[in-house]
Amino acid sequence: MERNIFLSQKEARRLYVIGQTIAGKLTVRQAAELLNLSCRQVKRLKKGVKMMGTAFLAHKNRGRKPKHSITAEVRDLTVSLAIGKYRDANCEQLAEFIAEDYGIIISARSVRRILHDAGMPLKYARKPAKKRRSRDRMPAAGMLVQADASPFAWFEDRGPMAALHGIIDDATGKILALFFRPTEDLLGHFMALLQMLLNYGVPKAFYSDRHSIFFSPKKDKLSIEEELAGKKAALTQFGRALSELGIGHIGARSPQAKGRVERLWKTLQGRLVIELRRAGISDIEAANAFLPGFIAKFNARFGKEPADSEPAFAPCPPMDVLNLIICQKHSRKAAGGSTISFMGKTYQLLAKNGPVLPLRRGAKIEVLTHLDGTLSALYDGTPYVLKELQANTAHDSQASAQAVKPAPKTPYSPPATHPWRQPLKRPRKRPANPGELYDGFWEDVYAI
């Protein structure tokens, strides 16, 4: 029984010519010239159509399901994961998760086709590329790094809002550091900086926005006269750390200027959120422990090879030197008794062997607040331990108990004999002649 086969326009024309040849209206040579085939091929087609009919001219696999086609079970699994466990994932990421968790190798293009056939809208549909002039990547890793922070609902509705602090290399696009904090702050950027230094080294230049953590807000308020006079705004704590490390600091004037790290946030907000959900992580501490493995996986997937294979990172300083750089420094002056005051408390400097360091009054001391919250001090470039002076509360309470409180003062009231309380004397009668003495003259003299 001949099955119904849909023929293309080319196949339909062949069928008509071969039919005319079978009917004797065309010779084999004439049919070969019309179809641009050899006589041998025309004879083969003529014989096949006589034996099998129209189906002979169609490809034998037409209408059959390929052996390597995606099964209905895999299609249903892909759709269920796209609307459930891995919702909001793009096609590339969804294909990676299916391969890792279920051992099913499926391309991102196939995932896209399956979701499209299921009528699911694609959140990350490709858009036509915009015409823009982009800056070329740096030739070597470590020549320029870009830093920023992204406050976002990284834990969705399972945990609190958090700010992810990150650093990315401009040449390779690899993540150099990531660290979560409740909000964007100095500690978060310090931790990301320390992570990069320990893992890669010291870069040549550091590119960031003009947040007050990186640059003093007074920097742009200096007048021309002040700039000509050589006056400079004080460095922030982060800017001072970069200066001590010998890293050049560049401030971006717009988000587009540091597009490498801005695009990183868009990628992470699509990928890292699902990775954290997949791992069941809903707090900052567990997320920070999860980040190293994610960074290695991300860099292996998206990292680029630089034009120059020799990295430009300088060697990382020793940890004891980093502790004196990546910290907050506050200047204080020594008071009497070789003491300094900091945050409402009084401290003394202790040398390595234990005794208190004698300080002259007015000596400049730098108090260091380290990343773990501990305090130390620098005097003439030498680090010292700070010892807090505790007030002797027992002695003070005993002395206050023994002290006699003075009686409260009462308003002064003059006695009755006070001249202010005496009645006014009547004025004496003056004599008519100036040379005569008035009555009571001598009494007045004796009274004086």
Q: Give domain status of residue 286, yes or no.
A: yes
The tokens of 111 are what? 């995932």
Look at residues 388, 414, 437 and tell me which one is the last residue of a structural domain: 388
Q: What is the pLDDT, as a whole number, of residue 331? A: 92
| 153, 206: one domain | yes
- Residue 68: enclosing H or E segment and its boundaries? none
Q: Does position 335 have pLDDT exceeding 60, yes or no?
A: yes
Q: What is the pLDDT, as a whole number, of residue 227? A: 61
Look at residues 367, 388, 409 and tell me which one is the last residue of a structural domain: 388
Q: Does position 338 have pLDDT exceeding 50, yes or no?
A: yes
| 20, 83: one domain | no
Split into its structural domains, the chain has a count of 4
> How far apart (Å, rounded) are the C-alpha atoms in residues 177 and 197?
9
Q: What is the pLDDT, as a whole number, of residue 5? A: 64
> How far apart (Å, rounded) are the C-alpha atoms in residues 34 and 186?
81
Amino acid at 1: M
Q: What is the pLDDT, as a whole number, of residue 321? A: 93
DSSP string, 198-243: HHT-B-SEEEE---TTTS-TTGGG--HHHHHTT--PPPPHHHHHHH
| 217, 90: one domain | no
| 107, 186: one domain | no
Q: Does position 447 have pLDDT exceeding 60, yes or no?
A: no
Q: Give domain status of residue 182, yes or no.
A: yes
Q: What is the pLDDT, as a whole number, of residue 235? A: 87
| 329, 379: one domain | yes
The tokens of 291 are what? 């980040």
pLDDT grade for 165, boundaries at 50, 70 and 90: very high
DSSP-derived letter for residue 413 is: -
pLDDT grade for 195, boundaries at 50, 70 and 90: very high
Q: What is the pLDDT, as a whole number, of residue 325? A: 95
| 171, 279: one domain | yes
Look at residues 372, 388, 404 and tell me which one is the last residue of a structural domain: 388
| 104, 170: one domain | no
pLDDT grade for 64, boundaries at 50, 70 and 90: confident
Q: Give domain status of residue 382, yes or no.
A: yes
Q: Give domain status of residue 63, yes or no.
A: no
CA nearest 324: which of 240, 211, 387?
240
Lowest-confidence range among 122-131, 147-156, 366-375, 383-392?
122-131
CA nearest 146: which of 123, 177, 125?
177
Q: What is the pLDDT, as a whole number, of residue 394? A: 41
| 152, 298: one domain | yes
The residue that leads in pLDDT, 233 or 441, is: 233
Q: Give domain status of residue 29, yes or no.
A: yes
Q: Give domain status of residue 430, yes or no.
A: no
Q: What is the pLDDT, as a whole number, of residue 254? A: 86
Q: Evaluate whether 91 touches 52 at the Cβ level (below 8 Å).
A: no
Q: What is the mean predicted confidence (pLDDT) over 262-275?
A: 93
Q: What is the pLDDT, as a whole number, of residue 393? A: 44
Q: What is the mean predicted confidence (pLDDT) over 411-417?
A: 82
Q: What is the pLDDT, as a whole number, of residue 60? A: 73
Q: Does position 223 have pLDDT exceeding 80, yes or no?
A: no
Q: What is the pLDDT, as a whole number, of residue 154? A: 96
25-48 per-position pLDDT tens digit: 899 999 999 989 999 999 999 998
Q: Give domain status of residue 35, yes or no.
A: yes
pLDDT grade for 266, boundaries at 50, 70 and 90: very high
| 287, 185: one domain | yes
Nearest 5 degrees, angle CA 282-CA 283-CA 284?
135
pLDDT grade for 126, boundaries at 50, 70 and 90: low
281-308 per-position pLDDT tens digit: 999 999 999 999 999 999 999 999 999 9
Q: Does position 365 have pLDDT exceeding 80, yes or no?
A: yes
Q: What is the mean predicted confidence (pLDDT) over 327-340?
A: 90
Q: What is the pLDDT, as a whole number, of residue 232? A: 67
| 195, 258: one domain | yes
| 216, 328: one domain | no
Q: Which residues contact 59 (CB under 8 A, 6 or more apart)?
A: none
Burial string for 307-324 (b: 16+ CB within 10 Å, else e) reads eeeebbbbebbeeeebbb
Lowest-confidence range among 177-181, 264-268, 378-382, 400-404?
400-404
> How far apart (Å, rounded) are the C-alpha atoms in residues 381 and 135?
42
Lowest-confidence range among 18-22, 98-102, 129-133?
129-133
Q: Evaluate whether 348 touches 315 at the Cβ level (below 8 Å).
A: no
Q: Give domain status of residue 421, yes or no.
A: no
The residue that leads in pLDDT, 227 or 299, is: 299
The range of the structural domain enclosing residue 251 comes to: 145-223+231-302
Lowest-confidence range among 17-21, 230-234, 256-260, 305-309?
230-234
Q: What is the pLDDT, as a whole number, of residue 403? A: 52
- Residue 63: enclosing H or E segment and its boundaries? none
369-411 per-position pLDDT tens digit: 999 999 999 999 889 999 888 765 444 544 444 555 666 777 8
| 174, 45: one domain | no
The residue that leads in pLDDT, 419 or 203, is: 203
Question: Which CATH number does the domain housing residue 253 bear?
Answer: 3.30.420.10
Average pLDDT, the chain: 85
Q: What is the pLDDT, as a whole number, of residue 435? A: 55
Q: What is the pLDDT, as a whole number, of residue 397? A: 42
